[in-house]
Amino acid sequence: MEGAEEELERRSKFLNSLIQKKKSISQKQQNACMDIRLRASDITLSLQDHAFKTARNNLDSMPSGKPDSKRLALALKKDFDSRYGPAWDCIVGTSFGSYVTHSLGGFLYFSIDKVYVLLFKTVVEPLDR
């Protein structure tokens, strides 16, 4: 019986790893369809997806030609502030440098088409008087 239990555990782990690989491949294929490239992140997949879709929808709604970086940054910031709490910041552009401090689980850097997006959450502390 002990050997059978070990074999079942091994098969369960194998099937679980296949499911995780399938999810990862599906995520990459979905991002490729939207021409999105993840550069760095420590936020959950659901927040990543939400940021990707919001960015794609905003870029698609802009007149063809040059994307409006300021408008995209404002849209992402307002959306994340309203959905996930205050203190989200966003930098958008085709070329920029940055050095930021962010909350754990609140950092996303990706490119969509030829636009780069840095979205991060900072800590808000009340002022004591």
Whether 95 and 118 have beta carbons less than 8 Å apart is answered as no
Please tell us whether the domain made up of 37-129 is placed in CATH 3.40.50.720: no
Which of 80, 74, 127 lies closest to 105, judged by CA?
Answer: 80
Give dist(CA 51, CA 112) in Å, integer.
Answer: 11
Per-residue pLDDT tens over the stretch 6-56: 888 888 888 888 887 777 666 655 555 668 999 999 999 999 999 999 999
* Alpha helices (H) in the chain, listed in sequence order: 2-33, 45-61, 69-84
| pTM reported for the whole predicted model | 0.71
Whether 80 and 105 have beta carbons less than 8 Å apart is answered as no
- Could you tell me the residue ranges of all domains in the chain? 1-33, 37-129
Per-residue pLDDT tens over the stretch 78-111: 999 999 999 999 999 999 999 998 889 999 999 9
